[in-house]
Amino acid sequence: MIDKMTPIGEVVAKYPETVKVFDDFGLGCAGCKAALFESIEQGARVHGIDVDRLLEGLNRVLPGD
């Protein structure tokens, strides 16, 4: 499960399927240098995105266990 403190770069590297979710929310995180150190919460705040909605979308596309 992804939470708001997870670094964006870690999420994209581990779960490439999340790139579309970030894009759908207007976050070009896959190619952003800030993604290497920025948490999901920080990225959402900077872009005026509701972090809870973003997390919902990201966790929805994760592969099932």
The pLDDT score that the predictor gives to residue 14 is 94
Q: Which CATH number fits domain 8-60: 3.40.50.300, 1.10.3910.10, 1.20.1630.10, 3.90.550.10?
A: 1.10.3910.10
Instruction: Report the b/e string of 14-30 with b at 16+ CB within 10 A.
Output: ebeebbebbeebebebb
Q: Please identify which residue in the block is written with the tokens 């809870």.
A: 52
pLDDT tens-place values along the chain, 65 residues long: 899 999 999 999 999 999 999 999 988 766 677 777 899 999 999 889 999 999 999 999 998 75
Is this model's pTM higher than 0.95 or not?
A: no
Alpha carbons 48 and 51: distance in angstroms, whole number: 9
Residue 16, pLDDT score: 93
DSSP string, 25-55: TT--GGG-GGGGT-BHHHHHHHTT--HHHHH
